[in-house]
Amino acid sequence: MNELPRVSYLGPEATFTHEAAILRFGEEATLSPVQSIDAVFDEVEGRRSRWGVVPIENAIEGTVNITLDRLLESPLLVECEVRLPIDIHLLTNAGSIEEVERILSHPHAVAQCRRWLRANASGVRIEEVLSTSLAAKMAAGEPKLAALSSRLAAEHYGLNIFAEKLDSEIINVTRFFVIGTAKPERGAHSKTSLLFGLKNESGALHKALAPIAERELNMTKLESRPSRKAAWEYVFYMEFDGFAEDDAISQGISELRNQADFVRVLGSYPVLEKERTIS
């Protein structure tokens, strides 16, 4: 039996990135956690992994700049976007909230659940750790601890879900990119991402975006990042609906090349979305 291609993802196990990797590749895939986003890129660029899975944007916290910076430097392409609803649960093996002495989690999860914590666990000490997965791992070893973490972490570490969806008032979704070296097939919903640089001239961005507007392309994201080559020079990251081979998009990119110092198409790729469960 042939070994399945290796997929590196931002670890540790039972993180939301792990869940995104499972959603795209299945639980039978050879999934390998690594310690940083840089390490994911390095594994795929070095051909030790066929694919990598990294976060690109959270609906609350915004763009993951490390991922964007590596995409600027890397020859890798975006092969898929995975959209994952982020639901935070209280995990513990304690019998009641009164038995819990400390609640552990990543700072972002703590912030998203603060209202529930004030109403239901105001006397419990909150402790911030490096990841929601680490919080669950620590809680699994001590019944007086609880974790704000995911359903996957509860299953992975053998914890009970004491309370569900503590952040239910917040619509929180994280987008992940699957990075690799191949150009994927068109999906039912496809997007195109690219990076481009402009001269520091008055009206340069307006002129560069004119071909996109003229063709009525649905631009879903535009963001600037320091070029790291000179002070106050920027590169722009853009996403829009559609495939690069579509006539309107192909023509828009061609005209953008005439205006920009450089254009790097990161990929045209399908979007895979997990629906939020209602409870």
Active-site residue list: 174, 176
Burial annotation 228-245 (CB, 10 A radius, 16+ → b, else e): eeeeeeebbbbbbebbbe
* Distance between CA atoms of residues 195 and 246, nearest Å: 18
* Distance between CA atoms of residues 225 and 232, nearest Å: 10
Q: Which candidate, 71, 61, 2, places its Cα nearest to that of 30?
A: 2
* Distance between CA atoms of residues 194 and 216, nearest Å: 17
Neighbouring CB atoms inside 10 A of 97's CB total: 16
